[in-house]
Structure 1
């Protein structure tokens, strides 16, 4: 009888020391499929109590199933002079829901917000650096943050990453009606999300959203997953009262309070730039001279001091110190151009190779980068002012083909940045090679890259010899064995925006002997090797973000002791996705191989994905065609 009582007491104690709601073992099978983590319950409560007072309260319960799921814990808060972290703590539970660790504020890492380029910042970050002893485990994270800035209201992403499921997630925002609260729903499909609106509040709740895998050639997350963005028509930004009723009004405030309040530069700099452009009458040539002047005397440094997160340093300070962030360098260039009679405009954009757009239909503080726009005749010239090497008027994949906000004295205006067609994004290869009697190849290669393909390669000129060789061996020509680069030279034509590589190479044992016959892969220097993944049930459209064209000519001198037994037939494949053309000829003991590939940018129905995959598969197959050579 005593043993039974003791067993009951132990069992009762065990049950009360754990919470099965926090046990990772209680998660349904559907939610764990394809998941590295599962959000059990996430609550985001935002209280906007005045124009300059906002409180953000978070509670996130997440079960981390494996090491890859650690990235989704998101136990992190940022703070500065205008934003205070009033509470931050976490509790860890094992797979059975037993509490194993409490983490207080003093246990969080407290660091300056500094990246590899930042040297000036008063922003700080509090984050959890926790190494689990076993998987799965559950963490309950809570925080309260108060801010004087109401320009940014956190967006709601019930699902914000791949390989993560949502058991329940909610957001509630309470606001003052006179501030002009607004919201916009994107990518809402089905009935997984419920909305409740009251007079001064709005609540969204999502339940049982299953984890998703990424799909090749699909749109970015912001175009696929459900998102709600929020904003105010009247807001505070570091003491400035702003209006987001229209882009015009929003731009007026930005120009007046954040851009144009100081346009002073030194008398010495004024004299210098006027001397530089004194004999030039062409507007673009004058602008190029000023742009290169800025490139030669400044460097990029991130500045995040208080309002420096939004307001550029004064031009006179950039002039004196020789550095600045994207805002400061763009504005400094604007002021210099103004001093020589050229009008240009501060332009806010999302800088990212993923082509993220400004939301034209939702006036709010957006963007993460600043460039400069020069209106010229019937087009705009865009300047990337943070890079000392990039050509005048070239932004590459970081700022191409997306909507941005132009800041004029008269107000804001949404514009589209330059796009590059598949014909603009051109790479041309011309190789002249020769075989010796032992089957070794040697010769010269000339590669000319333009458009976005210029962006892929022009920085190589600043690399070490070892890094350059590794680039060719490991990245550019990874399929070539026994290759030696004997010499290389580069020519970066910034006026034409063309980058030329001249290589001298030797490739040993290029022939593969099979049954007294030599096989030779004649497409030596440019081939597609990867076939897109096959999907049984694809969910999202096919998106080819950037098109391109390749034109290759390979000429190979064949020894008189060699005899080509067979030459592949010509191939032409053309469809809505692009074109592939291959042609082989022999003339005066010279084998000539010509290859043209064009891939078009575009968005297509998901049903078209398999057709595109098969198109690439055909290219890969033909790119691996071989000659039969007898000695």
Structure 2
């Protein structure tokens, strides 16, 4: 009976997997708003034991236009703990006729080595079909890998981008007897099917069919909240003789602690140097700042990814000699320096990246890609980005700010939040003096102070670009129709919230326009906001204003007019209030001198879809106010 059921199951799977490669049979619903259609997507993950698994992915995609051509490319990553055992591909024309099959010589093998990856066993195989002269066409790839690092199981995202529809997709996970599967599914219309397997294990199957393409609306939530996705994770795993389990965040932290415990010893001569450096510091924050500066001056970031080295740090003693390390090594090294100074610190695992979503707090697993250091200090807590060569101690920017991190503690790890920077932290304070000629040309002296998240890009340019490249970069950022950059200068100011000051000397051509005896002067020289993307159809997704909308801009511009001009009329002060922020502008006239003061405060937040119309209206009013101009008449 078991053999009969298995045969029926295999026949059913084979029937489901049949593909008609003809593009002409696709329904209009699947082609609507799509650049490509997933005809079949089959992922089968078979766990053989706590330390070994097999992954097979077959994808068949019909490309409808040039913007879908990326589906004709395939990259397969592997490392010391994984192996590519099969890589096939085929190309079909719009009628389903085979054009080409991949040969071994068509598949290239590359190292992922880069200038910051000194030691790295990550590699990838890559294949690309030649660009096709006509559309549609269909590509098929079959990839099989063996996995010997089962700390993490696959995440299934068959519809991994907008403008991509799905005809059929299936995800199967085969678990052996004695090992459990944990999973979290999002935006999956049907529940998982669970079946007992003949070997005493269990099989889990997720299916999708006829999923239309989506187009992300402006300011919509992260893709994972809108697309079908299944996260999977083990309950027990093995990797390179290390064993672990995951049923809670404490389990995740315990494994990381065991993996790295005892690696924070430093040489005695370095210990004495630490004591000497911090002997006059009486506070924890003082010691942290002193040793963080020492770290920045003495070490550099180099990624090291070798097997379990993706999670296990290099010993602090070795970093002390080599003067380099990856995020784990530099964090562990900093922890060791602080320990020598009598300061307790704890590693904190984080999902880092300016555009990375926060960790899924209800799904304990190895979701992290980075590590920072947490230093408790009474009611205050400092987080240290140990790979950064210039930011002050305690500033984590948008790279790791305002998200959950897993604090690694010997007695039990837990999730905590990193600092969120408010509008008062993220300032742009600008003072401009402008002299206007009768022809409408102008010269402008601009002094701007950027703080917090608004200074990040300027500090990065200061440290990563030479003088000529800084000038080219700056020319692209100045939003004035016609100008010349005569001089520019930058200066960094350290602090808990770092800042950068910018000095510009500009010549602006035809900023004001003349008509007879009148002079038309736009008031907002550099900070005008544009309108939001208008609605073209009913809004579906919530409005998600992220950290880039948590800021405060203020401009004070003094215009010196040519002699003999006076305002034709006065402009009344303006205030625009909204749930999203506040805008104000006012003007003062003193003889031939005009002072324009503008201030915008914005707030991050998640709002219902119906609020988007209010957002468009708010931005429309602000944009109109920012286009205000005064008219002057020559006496």
Deviations 1:262-290 (A, max 9, x none): 22222332222221111111111110111
Deviations 1:273-314 (A, max 9, x none): 221111111111110111111111111112111111121222
- Counterpart of 1:626 (choices 617, 620, 629) is 629
Do 2:566 and 2:592's aligned partners in 1 also have CA atoms closer than 8 Å? no
Q: Aligned partners of 1:508, 1:114: CA distance in 2, in Å?
A: 48
Partner of 1:57: 56
Cα drift, residue 195 of structure 1? 2.5
Deviations 1:339-363 (A, max 9, x none): 1111111111111112511212111
Do 1:492 and 1:499's aligned partners in 2 also have CA atoms closer than 8 Å? yes
Do 2:431 and 2:448's aligned partners in 1 also have CA atoms closer than 8 Å? yes
Closer, same or farther in 2 for the Cα pair 1:567/1:470, shift >3 Å? Answer: farther
Q: How does 1:126-275 map to 2 (within 5 A)?
A: 126-134=125-133, 135-188=135-188, 191=189, 193=190, 195-199=192-196, 200-257=202-259, 259-275=260-276
Closer, same or farther in 2 for the Cα pair 1:346/1:489, shift >3 Å? Answer: closer
Cα drift, residue 73 of structure 1? 5.1
SS in 2 for 1:216: coil
- Counterpart of 2:559 (choices 545, 556, 560) is 556
Cα drift, residue 238 of structure 1? 3.0
Which stretch of structure 1 is more off in the superposition, 372-381 or 412-421?
A: 372-381
Cα drift, residue 239 of structure 1? 2.5
Cα drift, residue 88 of structure 1? 1.0
SS in 2 for 1:231: strand
Do 1:149 and 1:237's aligned partners in 2 also have CA atoms closer than 8 Å? yes
Cα drift, residue 194 of structure 1? 5.0
Q: Aligned partners of 2:381, 2:66: CA distance in 1, in Å?
A: 47
Partner of 2:357: 356
Which stretch of structure 1 is more off in the superposition, 34-43 or 458-467?
A: 458-467
Partner of 2:12: none
Q: Aligned partners of 1:245, 1:133: CA distance in 2, in Å?
A: 49
Partner of 1:23: 22
Do 2:568 and 2:631's aligned partners in 1 also have CA atoms closer than 8 Å? yes
Partner of 1:279: 280
Closer, same or farther in 2 for the Cα pair 1:624/1:123, shift >3 Å? Answer: same
SS in 1 for 2:67: helix
Q: Aligned partners of 1:128, 1:355: CA distance in 2, in Å?
A: 28
Q: Aligned partners of 1:247, 1:372: CA distance in 2, in Å?
A: 18
Q: Aligned partners of 1:55, 1:617: CA distance in 2, in Å?
A: 54
Closer, same or farther in 2 for the Cα pair 1:194/1:40, shift >3 Å? Answer: farther
Do 2:249 and 2:364's aligned partners in 1 also have CA atoms closer than 8 Å? yes
TM-score by length of 2: 0.92
Partner of 1:5: none
Cα drift, residue 197 of structure 1? 0.9
Closer, same or farther in 2 for the Cα pair 1:116/1:216, shift >3 Å? Answer: farther
Partner of 2:32: 33
Q: Aligned partners of 2:115, 2:68: CA distance in 1, in Å?
A: 26
Cα drift, residue 488 of structure 1? 2.6
Closer, same or farther in 2 for the Cα pair 1:460/1:250, shift >3 Å? Answer: closer
SS in 2 for 1:452: helix
Q: How does 1:431-442 map to 2 (within 5 A)?
A: 431-442=432-443
Q: Aligned partners of 2:541, 2:565: CA distance in 1, in Å?
A: 52
Q: Aligned partners of 1:610, 1:514: CA distance in 2, in Å?
A: 38
Do 1:45 and 1:58's aligned partners in 2 also have CA atoms closer than 8 Å? yes
Cα drift, residue 541 of structure 1? 0.3
Q: How does 1:478-557 map to 2 (within 5 A)?
A: 478-494=479-495, 496-514=497-515, 516-546=517-547, 547-557=550-560
Closer, same or farther in 2 for the Cα pair 1:443/1:246, shift >3 Å? Answer: same
Do 1:538 and 1:606's aligned partners in 2 also have CA atoms closer than 8 Å? yes
Q: Aligned partners of 1:120, 1:288: CA distance in 2, in Å?
A: 30
Closer, same or farther in 2 for the Cα pair 1:21/1:515, shift >3 Å? Answer: farther
Q: Aligned partners of 2:29, 2:386: CA distance in 1, in Å?
A: 49
Structure 1 residue runs of 5 or longer lacking an equivalent are 1-18
Closer, same or farther in 2 for the Cα pair 1:62/1:230, shift >3 Å? Answer: same
Cα drift, residue 245 of structure 1? 1.7
Do 1:20 and 1:26's aligned partners in 2 also have CA atoms closer than 8 Å? no
Which stretch of structure 1 is more off in the superposition, 505-514 or 355-364?
A: 505-514
Figure out how many residues of one structure are paired with residues of the other and give that number: 608
Partner of 1:335: 336
Deviations 1:524-577 (A, max 9, x none): 021113432423122210010021111111111223322222332211111211
Cα drift, residue 399 of structure 1? 0.9
SS in 1 for 2:24: helix
Closer, same or farther in 2 for the Cα pair 1:345/1:105, shift >3 Å? Answer: farther
Partner of 1:15: none
Q: CA RMSD of the aligned region, Å?
A: 1.9
Partner of 2:3: none
Partner of 1:471: 473
Partner of 1:613: 616
Deviations 1:469-489 (A, max 9, x none): 3333321x2234133333434
| Off by >4 Å, runs of 4+ in structure 1 | none
SS in 2 for 1:352: coil
